[in-house]
Amino acid sequence: MLAGGTARADDASRKRFAQKQEMLSRLWVFATLNYLYCDVVGLMDAKMLKQYGEGIVDGVRIDEGFLLGATILMQVPLSMVFLSTALPPRASRVANIAAGALMTGVQTATLFIGRPAKYYLFSSAVEIATTGFITAYALLAMKPPRVVPSVGATQDAVTMSVGFRF
């Protein structure tokens, strides 16, 4: 009876954790779409488009190295859409905390380059809030598994086991 109840509790815990991983994956989709849309809107901004054409935006040279770095950086949120659900619990938690903190920091830093347009400020606020929430959610809601010791005894032997609960 005890073992069956524990198994049901473990299944429920795993299901709750999987739901949290799904939530994080969806938040990464939301953040990524916001990054992309802000970039598309930037192409509609005549002042920005002129700077793109000249290869220097707000004093930053947009060359192949910059574009490679930006592409690599954007692999973080894109990868987290998949990794949030594909990684085992502890790795998923660590990856979400690290990726969320990185993207929050980078997006915050971009606000200090040049003079951002209002649409960029708004999009950045949404992106920073989303990745900040991802970081906090992974840190606080995705606690690592607890170690639950159990001891059992029969006439023939004493057994001890350690179980991990999610």
Q: What values do phi and psi take at 43, rounded to 5?
A: -70, -20
First-to-last CA distance in the chain? 20
143 or 135, which is more confident? 135
Tens-place pLDDT, residues 62-115: 999 999 999 999 999 999 999 999 999 899 999 999 999 999 999 999 999 989
Domain hosting 73: range is: 2-165
Q: What values do phi and psi take at 69, rounded to 5?
A: -60, -40
Confidence band (pLDDT; 50, 70, 90) for 12?
confident
Which contiguous run of DSSP H or E holds residue 90? Answer: helix 89-110
How many separate domains does the chain show? 1
CB 165 within 8 A of CB 145: yes
Give the 3-state secondary structure of residue 104: helix
SS (H, E, C) 14-82: HHHHHHHHHHHHHHHHHHHHHHHHHHHHHHHCHHHHHHHHHCEECCEECCHHHHHHHHHHHHHHHHHHH
How many percent of the chain have pLDDT more than 70? 81
Cα-based torsion angle of the residue sequence 165, 79, 110, 121 in order, rounded to the nearest 10 degrees: -80
DSSP label at 143?
A: P
